[in-house]
Amino acid sequence: MTRVFAIANQKGGVAKTTTTITLAHAFALRQKPTLVIDFDPQGQSATALGINPEPGVFNCLVSPATPRQYWVRTCERELLSILPGDRSTATAQIVLNAENRPIDAIAVALKSLVQPYDFVFLDTAPSVGGIQERVIWMADYVIIPVATEYLSVDSLGKTLETLQQLVQRGWKGKLLGILPTFYDQITKESRNAMDYLKKEFSNQVLPPIHRATILRECAADGQTIWEKAPNSQAGQDYDSLVKIVGKVS
């Protein structure tokens, strides 16, 4: 059965893309057919996996004449595929909104495309708007990465509010958890942010991902942590998350 996970937070730079591609590659390595769909016009899921951003999502959503599977790309990793996005994804957003397409428009459009996969990870843009809600509607679970900094924690409320509104409209998915990222126990700001998250959201807080330069290097080289340094702290942190994600499916 296909399980769809959205990685969402309207704040930028909180490790949405890093988390998306790291989880996706982890399940592909565990012999699970896995698909990444990049709904962010920045197209960084593709670059983080070492391939070029392309108008995949745009074509699937806006010009469905060609079979949707045509736009899915491989990325030289067994069992891992990607439906990339690029700047044209922003146009898809405008079109969906202008045509006032229903909340389940994306879920319906991509239903048959995701079916062959065990795991589907949706990378999202740091913004609010029609496409974000329609993307989350498609997800069984949502992971909200939150950088352990004061302002990041502040913006978490807005993303949770979006989920709450979707639940009221009949969304059947749920929050898998809040993922503290860029955690650095040496800085007071990071510790305070972590304490706050635990106090406010207790069992919804996932084990943190520590700040790690190696993750930046992975992105620059188009490699995942499983290729570059699986035994590093970052690898161990993400491995804990993989185990949790694996359990719900």
Ligand X SMILES: Nc1ncnc2c1ncn2[C@@H]1O[C@H](COP(=O)(O)OP(=O)(O)OP(=O)(O)O)[C@@H](O)[C@H]1O
Q: Which of residues 103-132 bind ligand X (CB under 6 A)?
A: 126
Identify the residue among 18, 47, 81, 93 touching ligand X (CB under 6 A): 18
Mapped to the 3 state alphabet, what secondary structure does the chain carry?
CCEEEEECCCCCCCCHHHHHHHHHHHHHHCCCCEEEEECCCCCHHHHHCCCCCCCHHHHHHHCCCCCHHHHCEECCCCCEEEECCCCHHHHHHHHHHHCCCCCCHHHHHHHHHHCCCCEEEEECCCCCCHHHHHHHHCCCEEEEEEECCHHHHHHHHHHHHHHHHHHHCCCCCEEEEEEEECECCCCHHHHHHHHHHHHHHHHHECCCCECCHHHHHHHHHCCCHHHHCCCCHHHHHHHHHHHHHHHHC
Identify the residue among 14, 82, 143, 245 touching ligand X (CB under 6 A): 14
Q: Interface with Mg ion includes 20 (CB under 5 A)?
A: no
Q: Interface with ligand X includes 13 (CB under 6 A)?
A: yes
Q: Interface with Mg ion includes 134 (CB under 5 A)?
A: no
Residues touching ligand X, count (CB under 6 A): 19
Q: Interface with Mg ion includes 17 (CB under 5 A)?
A: yes
- Sign of the alpha-carbon dihedral angle for 182, 185, 191, 195: positive
Q: Interface with ligand X includes 149 (CB under 6 A)?
A: no
Identify the residue among 3, 25, 77, 211 touching ligand X (CB under 6 A): 211
**CA-CA distances (angstroms) from residue 26 to 105, 116, 152, 162, 172?**
29, 18, 27, 28, 26
Stretch that binds Mg ion, among 36-44, 191-199, 213-221, 228-236 (CB under 5 A): 36-44
Identify the residue among 16, 68, 77, 134 touching Mg ion (CB under 5 A): 16
Q: At its nearest, how many Å lie between Mg ion and the CB of residue 119?
A: 19
Q: Interface with Mg ion includes 11 (CB under 5 A)?
A: no
- Give Rg (Cα) of the chain: 17
Q: Interface with ligand X includes 209 (CB under 6 A)?
A: yes
Partner whose binding site includes residue 219, from Mg ion, ligand X, none (CB under 5 to 8 Å by kind) = ligand X
Q: Interface with ligand X includes 222 (CB under 6 A)?
A: no
Partner whose binding site includes residue 58, from ligand X, Mg ion, none (CB under 5 to 8 Å by kind) = none
Identify the residue among 181, 197, 224, 241 touching ligand X (CB under 6 A): 181
Q: List residues binding ligand X (CB under 6 A).
A: 12-18, 40, 42, 44, 126, 181-182, 209, 211-212, 215-216, 219
Site for Mg ion, rule CB under 5 A:
16-17, 44
